[in-house]
């Protein structure tokens, strides 16, 4: 469904005083995502995960390489095709509060993509917003609430409802559960798993949290300083991987004494 082919990227010099040359943020990244899969992209801060996410979403053109989505080259497409991709590729960010307009109600936030892409009557729009609220576990009366009247976990559900409103094919989840407490994290991860089954969605799950990634992903890649240093589907090989960046991630969740070690997932 999605192929990233030999993608490299630099942001260029930040200002004219910076003569150091543009350091690559991504170097020769290739990955493939199958339909319906959940691909975990792990790595420490600054590894380049969000940059790769933006390139996959079509909002940051890579300096080199290609992104293919459903057999077509994302950055060599007509305006019409790009508009279709805007529907098919959605994103949920970490900071649920800054991802929404504080002056809009939940109904307005969730209804926004439907108003932009569909021509529903007001009654039909209302009905669809009601279904979406229910699907993400919110109550009908929540539609009248403003962002500040929700908890972080509830507002992230509003963001997820907006992301699934157009029945996309791929959702980039960029640290989407990272700012939530453990209880809300578990609830949102379980909601995401249910929605994936219901809609046949694919996720690119960007995170630094190996535990969250192993809970829902069927494939995991680890990035370090702009390169992919590990790709695999099975937890054991991730734990056994000798690359220092992978070991660092794994050790962040493993106690020193083997008898105290919990099994991932
Ligand atoms: N718009 C930008 N302009 C210039 N440099 C940028 C820009 N966005 C990111 N960078 C730089 O690119 C590098 C990778 O950043 P990116 O946000 O992709 O990493 P990340 O792995 O997602 O990190 P984090 O987990 O902290 O979000 C960093 O050094 C960052 O400073």
Q: Whose CA is nearest to atom 4 of ligand 1?
A: 11
Candidate of 51, 55, 95 to mutate for ligand 1, largest count of ligand atoms within 8 Å of Cβ: 51
Q: What is the ipTM of this complex?
A: 0.96
Distance CA 31, CA 72 (A): 16
Give domain 2-9+29-260's CATH number out of 3.20.20.70, 3.40.50.300, 2.30.30.90, 3.30.70.3420.
3.40.50.300
> pLDDT, tens digit, for every residue of 230-259?
998 777 888 888 899 998 888 876 555 555
> pLDDT, tens digit, for every residue of 183-200?
888 888 888 888 899 888
pLDDT reported for residue 182: 83
Domain-wise residue ranges, the chain: 2-9+29-260
Which ligand 1 atom minimizes the distance to the CA of 206? 22
Which ligand 1 atom minimizes the distance to the CA of 53? 18
Quick one: pLDDT band at residue 23, thresholds 50, 70, 90?
Answer: confident
Which ligand 1 atom minimizes the distance to the CA of 54? 18
Give residue ranges with CB within 6 A of ligand 1: 11, 25, 43, 45-51, 208
Nearby residues of 198 by Cβ (< 8 Å), 6 or more positions away: 135
User: Quick check: 113 and 162 in contact, CB under 8 A?
Assistant: yes
Query: Does residue 131 surpass a pLDDT of 90?
Result: yes
Distance CA 110, CA 159 (A): 7
Q: Whose CA is nearest to atom 1 of ligand 1?
A: 11
Ligand 1 mean position, distance from CA 231 (Å): 21
Distance CA 244, CA 253 (A): 15
Phi, psi of 169 (to 5 degrees): -95, -35
Which ligand 1 atom minimizes the distance to the CA of 12? 4
* pLDDT (average), residues 104-121: 94
Candidate of 9, 23, 42, 50 to mutate for ligand 1, largest count of ligand atoms within 8 Å of Cβ: 50
pLDDT reported for residue 251: 83
Candidate of 21, 25, 209 to mutate for ligand 1, largest count of ligand atoms within 8 Å of Cβ: 25
Query: Does residue 205 surpass a pLDDT of 70?
Result: yes
Q: Is the pTM of this model over 0.90?
A: no
pLDDT reported for residue 261: 45
Mean pLDDT of the chain: 87
Quick one: pLDDT band at residue 150, thresholds 50, 70, 90?
Answer: very high
Bridging pattern class, strands 202-207 and 24-33: unpaired
Q: CA angle 209-180-152, nearest 5°?
A: 150
Looking at residue 132, the DSSP 8-state letter turns out to be H
Query: Does residue 19 surpass a pLDDT of 70?
Result: no
Distance CA 254, CA 244 (A): 15
Ligand 1 mean position, distance from CA 253 (Å): 24
């Amino acid at each position: 469904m999605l192929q990233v082919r030999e993608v490299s990227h630099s942001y260029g010099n930040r200002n004219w005083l910076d003569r150091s040359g543009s350091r690559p943020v991504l170097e020769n990244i290739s990955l493939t995502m199958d339909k319906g899969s959940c691909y975990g992209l792990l790595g420490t801060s600054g590894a380049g995960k969000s940059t790769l996410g933006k390139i996959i979403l079509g909002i940051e053109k890579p300096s080199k390489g290609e992104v293919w989505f459903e057999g077509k080259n994302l950055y060599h497409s007509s305006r019409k095709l790009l508009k279709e991709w805007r529907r098919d590729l959605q994103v949920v960010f970490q900071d649920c509060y800054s991802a929404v307009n504080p002056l809009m109600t939940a109904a307005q936030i969730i209804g926004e993509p439907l108003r932009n892409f569909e021509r529903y009557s007001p009654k039909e729009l209302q009905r669809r917003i009601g279904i979406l609220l229910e699907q993400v576990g919110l109550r009908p009366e929540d539609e009248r609430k403003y962002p500040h009247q929700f908890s972080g976990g509830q507002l992230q559900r509003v963001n997820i409802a907006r992301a699934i409103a157009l029945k996309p094919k791929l959702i980039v989840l960029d640290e989407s559960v990272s700012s939530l407490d453990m209880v809300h994290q578990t609830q949102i991860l379980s909601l995401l798993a249910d929605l994936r089954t219901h809609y046949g969605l694919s996720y690119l799950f960007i995170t630094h949290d190996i535990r969250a990634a192993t809970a829902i992903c069927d494939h995991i890649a680890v990035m370090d300083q702009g390169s992919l240093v590990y790709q695999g589907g099975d937890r054991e090989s991730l734990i056994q991987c000798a690359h220092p960046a992978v070991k660092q991630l794994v050790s962040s969740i493993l106690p020193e004494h083997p008898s105290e070690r919990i099994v991932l997932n």
